[in-house]
Amino acid sequence: MRLAAPVLRQLLTAAAIGVLVFVLMRVIPGDVVDVLGIEGDLSEQEQQALRAELGLDAGWWVQFLRWVGGTLRGDLGLSLRYNRPVAEMIGYALPHTLRLAALALGLGLALGIAAAAVAAARPHGIWPLLVQALNVWSIALPTFCVGLAAILVFSLWLGWLPVRGQLLMPVLVLGIDIAGQIAKPLHEELKEILATPFIRAARAKGLGPGAIVLGHVLPNAAGVLSSVSGLILAGLISGALTMEVLFGLPGLGSLAFQAIAGRDWTVLQSVVLLFALGVIVANLLADLAHRLADPRVR
Amino acid sequence: MPEAPLPTRHVAEAVAAPAASRASPWRRPLLLLALAGLFALVGPWIAPQDPLWQDLAARNLPPQPGAWLGTDNLGRDVLSRLLAGARITVLVAGGATALALAVGAGLGLAALAAGALPAALVFGLIDMIRALPSVLLGLALMVALGTGVGPVTIAIGLSFAPTFAVVARQAWLRERQAAYVEAAVASGTHPAVILRRHIAPNVAGALITQAAIILPRAVTTESVLSFLGLGVSPETPTWGRMIAAGLPFVERAPHAVLAPVVALSLLTLVLAVAGDHIRAAADPLRRGTG
């Protein structure tokens, strides 16, 4: 099985990311006790006692081994700040992030593929311009700006949607951004494929433009999607984090942001590791999809 | 791997391009960049008021003569803050992109030149860093380095550096096995000459293209970090801070949020357009078609 090697390498990467994340957290000055101390006016003795209770007085190595041992046993530990199980906090936040990311990705793929396919089938209409416009939109307008503009227009002036807690606007903003990234390269690829002899053969046997694009061209263009998938994934994750903070969604991005601000290392370590694992799994899936879709890579 | 499509079409287009458009392809994008830079340079000077001066009696005023973009929640002139913030935004984004280019490409190319093992180690580390979302990485670096113009530039620069290393490696590997390099080797050209005359310009082109892509993203990242309260120090006027400060009062003073959002969008648009021209200019196969 040729997949074993990449899986093994990615697992190694995941382990190394664990170390990296841990070190990165410790570079940040201050710890949760400092934050609690400022907020709650703790005395020096109380702070020391709290550090000992949370296990923060132990050396880095001890803390690291505790975290690794716990994580391998499936125990993510307690939040340093809220004293709640980290697994429970992630379990609450994860569905929010997954829902946002999945809906945005679904919308982006549907919109991007549809726009590229229709533009390829009707090269003389308005559709190629639409693909171009989508592309310029996603290059030139960061989701941060579009999200803010959407809040201004639809929440505050028109009053159609609440600012916080709704999914429609963040999904639309992220989805259109993804569609713009997909549509242009896919359209280029579709045009190239349309110019090849086997398409002329399909046309000669009497197939219409719709049937040709759907049945012959699109399946052959799947490779383009997997080649832009890494870029889209990175944009999707960063975009989802920004959208969560902007629209007040209680997802992993908001959780990570609060954990950084509160120096809640146990939460942050697990969240960041989860993000890294997510990227790794998604890359493996994209690789697998590429192999399945393109017989030349098999 | 995003390989270039078959070059024949582009070559045909380039050859067919009228002579007039063969004037230096760099002129338009550099003009746009110079415009953005000039705006950032003179912005604070032509600001009608002190961007930090508060007039608590004149809070959240709508746009009117004397305060063309209105005032914010502390009675500060929005237009003046917008102009003063332009310099910091452009400075941070430009500095961060230059830093990312220097660190990323420098490290990547040095590792490639040092041999297989160093390259494997360095790029293994870089691939790991790339698995972390750049916004989170920037956030963590920001907290570690503290607030201020210098730290935010370093944080954004370091979080974008890995992409430059990867681009440098891709270009390096692609050029090294290109047919023309093989031809140069076969004709007995010294390796140093091949490196300098053939490989270096193409790697540089790929890096410049990447810089053009990263520059507008650095602008946005600075705004997001400032928006989250982690960018430059609170008194410094930046667009992200203006947005964050104005958002709670947006119903009474929408202009205080709208102005920086529009300015931010315009700047990224200009930088993206310049970037597209730069991409065309740096790619010999597309030269003359942009």
The string of pLDDT tens digits covering residues B133-147 is 777 777 777 777 777
Q: Mark yes or no for CB contact A140/B272 under 8 Å.
A: yes
CB-CB under 8 Å, B264 with A145: yes
Chain A interface test: which of B1, B121, B136 (most A C-beta within 10 Å): B136
A244 vs A254: CA distance, rounded Å:
6
pLDDT digits (tens, 9 = 90+) for A245-280: 888 888 888 888 888 777 788 888 888 888 878 877
pLDDT above 80: residue B218? yes
| Structural domain contains residue B225 | yes
- Nearest-Cα distance to chain B for A17, in Å, is 6
Name the closest residue on chain A to residue B135, using Cα atoms. A238
Q: Which residue has the higher pLDDT, A35 or A114?
A: A114
Mean residue pLDDT across chain B: 78
pLDDT band at A100 (very low <50, low <70, confident <90, very high): very high
Q: What is the mean pLDDT of residues A62-89?
A: 80
| Closest B-chain CA to A29 | B144
A149 with B261: Cβ contact below 8 A: yes
Q: What is the CATH number of the domain that holds B221?
A: 1.10.3720.10
User: B152: domain range?
Assistant: 27-47+70-289
pLDDT at position A3 is 61
Residue B3's pLDDT is 44
Say if B42 falls within a structural domain. Answer: yes
The torsion angles phi and psi of B63, rounded to 5 degrees, stand at -55, 135
pLDDT tens per residue, range B224-244: 888 877 767 767 778 888 888
Mean pLDDT across A217-226: 76
pLDDT above 70 for B23: no
- Cβ(A26)–Cβ(A58) below 8 Å: no
Q: How confident is the model at residue B290 (pLDDT cuts 50, 70, 90)?
A: very low
**Residue B19 domain flag:** no
- pLDDT at B22 exceeding the cut of 60: no
For residues B3 and B29, which has the higher predicted lDDT (pLDDT)? B29
B146-186 pLDDT, tens digit per residue, is: 777 888 899 889 888 988 998 888 888 888 778 888 888 88
Confidence class for position A36, pLDDT limits 50, 70, 90: confident
The reply to whether B81 falls in a domain is yes
Residue B267 covered by a domain: yes
Give the per-residue pLDDT at A110. Answer: 92
Q: What is the 3-state secondary structure (H, E, C) of chain B?
A: CCCCCCCHHHHHHHHHCCHHHHCCCCHHHHHHHHHHHHHHHHHHHHCCCCCCCCCHHHCCCCCECCECCCECCCCCEHHHHHHHHHHHHHHHHHHHHHHHHHHHHHHHHHHHHHCHHHHHHHHHHHHHHHCCCHHHHHHHHHHHHCCCHHHHHHHHHHHHHHHHHHHHHHHHHHHHCCHHHHHHHHCCCCHHHHHHHHHHHHHHHHHHHHHHHHHHHHHHHHHHHHHCCCCCCCCCCCHHHHHHHHHHHCCCCHHHHHHHHHHHHHHHHHHHHHHHHHHHHHCCCCCCCC
The pLDDT confidence band at residue B104, using thresholds 50, 70 and 90, is very high
pLDDT at A106: 92
The beta-carbon neighbor of A148 closest among B140, B243, B276 is B243
- Note the ipTM here: 0.72
Residue of B nearest to A185 (CA): B2
Residue A200 burial (C-beta neighbours within 10 Å; 0-12, 13-18, 19+)? exposed
pTM (two decimals): 0.77
- Banded pLDDT at B285 (limits 50, 70, 90): low
pLDDT tens per residue, range A140-166: 788 888 888 888 888 877 878 777 778
Cβ <8 Å between B268 and A275: no
Least CA distance to B252: which residue of chain A? A156
Q: How many domains does chain B have?
A: 1
Question: Is there a domain that residue B281 lies in?
Answer: yes
> Among A148, A237, A241, whose Cβ lies nearest the Cβ of B261?
A148
User: Is A192's CB within 8 Å of B272's CB?
Assistant: no
Whether residue A16 lies within 8 A of chain B, CB to CB, comes out as: yes
The pLDDT score that the predictor gives to residue B286 is 54
Among A69-73, B55-59, B110-114, B259-263, the range scoring the smallest mean pLDDT is B55-59
- Say if the Cβ atoms of A256 and B265 lie within 8 Å: no
Question: Residue range A86-107: average pLDDT?
Answer: 90
